[in-house]
Structure 1
Amino acid sequence: MATKAREARDWELFVDWCASMGTNALPTTAEVIADFLTEFPAPMEAQGRRVRAIRKAHENEGVPLALPTDRRASVLREGPEWASVPRALAQLPTYGHPKVLEAVIRGRRDGWLIVLVGILGLSRNEARLLEQTDVELFPRLAIKGHPVPRTDPASECLACAVTRWLHVAGAASFGFRNELLDVISPIGIDPAAHDCDIGLDGVWRQANTLLPWVDRHGWVSADPMSSRSVSATLAHRQALGPVAEIRAYVAPTGGRYEHATMNELADAYDDVDTKVAAMLLHLNEILDESAEVLDHLKEFDL
Structure 2
Amino acid sequence: MTSTGTSPRRPDDIHDTERGLRVPARYRHDWALFTDWCAAADRSPIPASPDTLALFLHEHPAVAATQRRRLSAINAVHTRHGYPAPGRTETVRRHLDTARAQRLDRLGCLLMQRARELPTEGWPSGLFGRRDALLLVLAATGMTFTDTTRLRRRDIRLDGNTLVVTTRAGERFLLAPDPEAGDNPVVGIYRRWAEIQAFLDQYPGTHLLRHHLTDPIEVFADPLDAEQAREPLLCPIDRWGHLPHGQPMTPQSVSTLVRAHLLGRAPVRKVLSTPPQENLDTRDEPKVHLDSTYYERGLAARRRDHEALEDLADIFDEIEVRADALLEDLVSVLEGL
Q: TM-score, normalised by structure 1?
A: 0.46
**Bigger-Rg structure (1/2):** 2
Q: TM-score, normalised by structure 2?
A: 0.42
Structure with the bigger RCO (C-alpha within 8 Å, sep 6+) is: 1
